[in-house]
Chains A and B, each alone.
Chain A
Amino acid sequence: DIVMTQSPDSLAVALGERATINCKSSQSVLYSPNNKNYLAWYQQKPGQPPKLLIYWASTRESGVPDRFSGSGSGTDFTLTISSLQAEDVAVYYCQQFYHPQRTFGQGTKVEIK
């Protein structure tokens, strides 16, 4: 199985400041035939299911604010919130969907400083 490791486990960021979350996979999730990274980011707020934010490492899901961006390729990925808003307080997960056996990072809790 592909192991997904996120860092940090939690971070506190002031409103309007940048938040950066890293995700590393134990194997490449780059699918060579289409040159797409099968890496997604999800946001989970308390009492809610995970919500898809970004797929193919950097494509925002419809309706997701453009302050959310994803980058990276192969085994190293980053989710950036460019200007943290109060409604962004949540746990964020990376997930590989390269294999049917999905695996997730352990989650990063984002709070307001």
Chain B
Amino acid sequence: QVQLVESGGGVVQPGGSLRLSCAASGFSISSFGMHWVRQAPGTGLEWLSFIKYDGSDKKYADSVKGRFTISRDNSKNMVYLQMNSLRPDDMAMYYCAQETGAGDHWGQGTLVTVAS
């Protein structure tokens, strides 16, 4: 059974850092591009970042470029999102997603709260 489980969310002060993790099971991420998407409370979906199956290409939304870094460890079947210089408007549910070429499959999400 394909499953993605995000972790690493929590409460952080403005200017702080968090590292989110996405553990995949039921499939090998080494064949798939992976994404991070977030959803602020009561709002829509915002794509944040993409990493190619082998890590050779990465893309970022303008809103997080220079602050967030996506990475992956195919040997551990894990994807990561390092988030630095966090701001109050980064507060959201963060999802990782597997791209299959036939739509994306999502995890349950991890909540990030940015507050002093």
Contacts and interface: CB of A to CB of B under 8 A. Distances in A.
Interface of A: 40, 49-52, 54-56, 59, 61, 93, 95, 97, 100-107
B54 interface: no
Interface of B: 33, 35, 37, 44-47, 50, 52, 57, 59, 61, 95, 99, 102-109
A52 B35 CA distance: 15
A52 B44 contact: no
A64 B59 CA distance: 31
Contact of B45 (A52, A93, A101): A93
A40 B104 contact: yes
A55 B37 contact: no
A40 B103 contact: yes
Contact of B102 (A50, A56, A102): A56
A104 B103 contact: no
Contacts of B44: 93, 104-107
A102 B103 contact: no
Contact of B103 (A49, A97, A100): A97
Contact of B95 (A40, A49, A56, A103): A49
A103 B47 contact: yes
A31 B106 CA distance: 24
A100 B106 contact: no
Contacts of B95: 49-50
7 contacts: A40-B104, A49-B106, A52-B106, A95-B103, A101-B61, A104-B45, A104-B47
Contacts of A49: 95, 106-109
Interface centre among B44, B99, B107, B108 (most CB of A within 10 A): B44
A103 B107 CA distance: 18
